[in-house]
Amino acid sequence: MGRITGTTRLLAVLGDPIEQVQAPALVNALLERVGRDAVLVPVHVRPADLAEVVAGLRRVGNLDGLLVTVPHKIEICRYADELAPAAAFTGSANALRREAGGRWRADNFDGAGFVGGLRGAGHDPDGRRFALVGAGGAGAAVAAALLEAGAAHLSVCDTDPGRLDALLRRLAGRWPGRVTGSAAPRVRDADVAVNATPLGLRPDDPLPFDPAALRPGAVVADIIMRPRETRLLRAAAALGLAVHHGIHMLDHQLECYADFFRIDR
Amino acid sequence: MGRITGTTRLLAVLGDPIEQVQAPALVNALLERVGRDAVLVPVHVRPADLAEVVAGLRRVGNLDGLLVTVPHKIEICRYADELAPAAAFTGSANALRREAGGRWRADNFDGAGFVGGLRGAGHDPDGRRFALVGAGGAGAAVAAALLEAGAAHLSVCDTDPGRLDALLRRLAGRWPGRVTGSAAPRVRDADVAVNATPLGLRPDDPLPFDPAALRPGAVVADIIMRPRETRLLRAAAALGLAVHHGIHMLDHQLECYADFFRIDR
């Protein structure tokens, strides 16, 4: 880190727990590299304390913005004055910044980070067919970003019919004719199959879908970051399929954060 | 600075303005030197926002304490659950820490820092006679600390009779028989004369007292840090008197903070 003085501007990342967050190391390295007199600090906030902590932080004159992680990404939207499209669509946010007039704007870069990661790995979504497993918060963010980025078709599956139908309705309303849904995974004709469920966090989790059902040359992507090599990705690699690791999403979120917080690189 | 990660503990210094604070540079250098995974950040808080900001910061799970500077040193006492003797006596605090049970304890190290600085320069107050000019917040802190440290006699002067009498009554109640007061400075028989007024911050300020009235061998001390060489200290030095700079008070406050926040050195 560069030297912190009285002129240093603040960013804070809110989470519970907080010890595992990667953002301070990544963002501070970036801030230091570009010579910005600002620092990102970890802020441990329990859910019951979120309202009070955010109210206090909003009044801090040298605080320019917040990053938000589990479990506050949905609740934090209540404290924003305006929601960017991705935050409005997903109903969750992972970044807030103070605008010139003092209003707080929330955005969600889960989807944009995932798409940026795909592009960086040579898998531009434009014109490709996707199968997405998991219609929760991360799945919704990834689905919207893939369609926004020009995916030719998106098949979404989730074992919870209510959650699946709700997401499909909202996706079809905005991107009509490009989305289908099912309770069981349909990955057979996908160019890229994406796991957006928590399956794979634990070593004995079942596979979210069977990579053997994919055609040769398809890509298997996971949004799980730890472990880096999930059971799904190991199985896909063993089948000779291309794999795309969860960490790429975070790497490219960093670029999104830099743009959002106007950190010139 | 060492690397900030999710495990890093937080300290914050509150002020308005904040740009001028020296504490982040000094305390962070100390934290880094001893390998403590903690960081002190500047927090700009306007007076009208103090209650809300402090309420929020108290709920931050990885925040261990606060430093407090102008203009919040008096008001901050309202948010402490307990006041250490120096904070209770002066009615102002410049440090708060979270205790094991979650209570917040406030202390004031202005006086202790000044006494530590005197001792460090070879002027132990024990048994010495002091003349103190200025019965405001800083003067009260210095007065109490000098008497606590064994000063044989303290003469306090202030042009505001109400403020002077109030301080004298409280000093005499705790250290009877060792304190006198006057509207005009009485420095003639002092071993050490101390300026605790703001006179000297500006180059055209009048002298708080006439150093020529001191006996040879006496010490003239100033609590003003900038400019380092106040008009008073320059005049005293020109007379061949020993001088004691304001910066010593801050240097020794750093040691007080380290003890208060349990930073092993």
Q: Which of A1, A4, A37, A67 to mutate to test the interface with B (most CBs of B within 10 A)?
A: A4
Residue A2 is predicted with a pLDDT of 61
- Distance of alpha carbon A143 from alpha carbon A110, whole angstroms: 10
Spatial separation of the C-alpha atoms in residues B203 and B212, rounded to whole Å: 19
Residue A8 is nearest to which of B3, B24, B52, comparing CB atoms?
B24
B171 in Cβ contact with B158 (< 8 Å): no
Query: Which of B246, B163, B241, B140 lies closest to B154, judged by CA?
Result: B140
Contacts with A42 from chain B: Cβ below 8 Å:
4-8, 10, 62
Cα Dmax for chain A: 58
pLDDT digits (tens, 9 = 90+) for A192-226: 999 999 999 999 999 999 999 999 999 999 999 88
Domain with residues B111-249, CATH architecture: 3-Layer(aba) Sandwich (3.40)
Residues of B with a known catalytic role: 73
The answer for A127, left when phi > 0, alpha when psi is -120 to 50, beta otherwise, is left
CA distances from residue A219 to B54, B65, B119 in whole angstroms, order as listed: 50, 50, 72
Q: Which two tokens stand for residue A263?
A: 């950190």
DSSP line for B8-69: -EEEEEEESS-TT--HHHHHHHHHHHTT-SEEEEEEE--GGGHHHHHHHHHT-TTEEEEEE-
Q: How far apart are CA B155 and CA B7, in angstroms?
A: 50
Tokens 């750093």 found at: B254
- Strands lying side by side in the sheet with B9-15: B38-44, B9-15, B63-68, B95-98, B104-107, B82-83
Q: What is the dihedral of CA A215, A221, A224, A227, to 10 degrees?
A: 70
pLDDT at B2: 60
Percent of chain B with pLDDT over 70: 99
From 3.30.200.20, 3.40.50.10860, 3.40.30.10, 1.10.10.10, which CATH number describes the B9-108 domain? 3.40.50.10860
User: pLDDT averaged over chain A?
Assistant: 95
Question: Is B53 close to A56, i.e. CB distance below 8 A?
Answer: yes
How many Å lie between the alpha carbon of A17 and the closest alpha carbon of chain B? 9
DSSP class of B213? G
**What pLDDT is recorded for position B104?**
97
Q: Is A73 part of the annotated catalytic residue set?
A: yes
Domain ranges of chain A: 9-108, 111-249
Spatial distance between the Cα atoms of A65 and A236, rounded to a whole number of angstroms: 39
Give the per-residue pLDDT at A250: 85
pLDDT values of chain A reduced to their tens digit, one per residue, 265 residues: 468 999 999 999 999 999 999 899 999 999 999 999 999 999 999 999 999 999 999 999 999 999 999 899 999 999 999 999 999 999 999 999 999 999 999 999 999 999 999 999 999 999 999 999 999 989 999 999 999 999 999 999 999 999 999 999 999 999 999 999 999 999 999 999 999 999 999 999 999 999 999 999 999 999 998 899 999 999 999 999 999 999 999 889 999 999 999 998 7
- How do residues B174-230 score in pLDDT, each as one tens digit? 999 999 999 999 999 999 999 999 999 999 999 999 999 999 999 999 999 889 999
Strands B82-83 and B38-44: unpaired
B19 at A interface, C-beta within 8 A: yes
pLDDT for residue B251 = 86
Contact B121, B246 (CB under 8 A): no
Check if B9-108 and B111-249 are the same fold: yes
Query: Looking at beta carbons, which residues of chain A come within 8 Å of B8?
Result: 24, 41-42
User: Cβ A5–B53 below 8 Å, yes or no?
Assistant: no
